[in-house]
């Protein structure tokens, strides 16, 4: 039996969107874009500004920005890839909203991230704490083609 794949992602600049499309194409997975109810402006994303929206959110571990569109029905999926840009060494808080509000118990979750220099290990640890009833596979910091990695993650 083929495993059903969902590729859920948040992309602030389009880079993570391209990685998600690569994974969906390689695995035959369905795409779901995690869109914040209030979109991020360039000013919101200015990590050098201590008062920018992203900085304020990331300094509050309990922050859960609302998601604009209805969440996907995850019942039919076996594997959920969750993608994001790395912010402050972890996943953006809107990813935490997705993890909290989706029923991911019993699913296999595979994180993937894009970043100019940070790793994904901090996000992997936090995400596993947020969804203890899911099985987590080792994630990947995606740079370039990710087809082989995504196919291997699905195979197991």
- Using one digit for the tens of pLDDT, what is the confidence trace for 26-74? 999 999 999 999 999 999 999 899 999 999 999 999 999 999 999 999 9
Model confidence at 105: pLDDT above 60: yes
Integer Cα distance of 79 and 92 in angstroms: 21
- Looking at residue 1, its pLDDT comes to 54
C-alpha dist (Å) from residue 44 to 13, 41, 67? 12, 5, 16
The pTM assigned to this predicted structure is: 0.94
* 7 contacts 83 by C-beta, under 8 angstroms: yes
- Looking at residue 4, its pLDDT comes to 97
Q: How many CB atoms neighbour CB 66 within 10 A?
A: 10
Model confidence at 93: pLDDT above 90: yes
Integer Cα distance of 33 and 132 in angstroms: 23
Percent above pLDDT 70 for the chain: 99
* 109 contacts 131 by C-beta, under 8 angstroms: yes
Mean pLDDT of the chain: 94
Supply φ then ψ for residue 74, to 5 degrees: -90, 0
- Looking at residue 144, its pLDDT comes to 74
- Looking at residue 10, its pLDDT comes to 98
């Amino acid at each position: 039996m083929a495993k059903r794949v969902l590729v859920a992602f948040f992309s602030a600049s389009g880079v993570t969107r391209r990685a998600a499309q690569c994974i969906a194409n390689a695995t035959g997975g369905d795409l779901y874009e995690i869109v914040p109810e209030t979109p991020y402006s360039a000013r919101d994303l200015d990590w050098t500004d201590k008062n920018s929206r992203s900085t304020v959110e990331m300094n509050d571990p309990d922050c859960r920005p609302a998601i604009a569109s209805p969440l996907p029905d995850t019942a039919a999926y076996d594997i959920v890839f969750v993608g994001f840009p790395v912010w402050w060494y972890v996943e953006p808080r809107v990813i935490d909203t997705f993890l909290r509000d989706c029923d991911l118990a019993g699913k296999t979750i595979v994180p993937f991230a894009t970043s100019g220099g940070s790793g994904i290990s901090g996000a992997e640890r936090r995400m596993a704490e947020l969804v203890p009833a899911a099985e987590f596979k080792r994630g990947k910091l995606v740079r370039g083609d990710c087809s082989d990695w995504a196919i291997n993650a699905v195979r197991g």
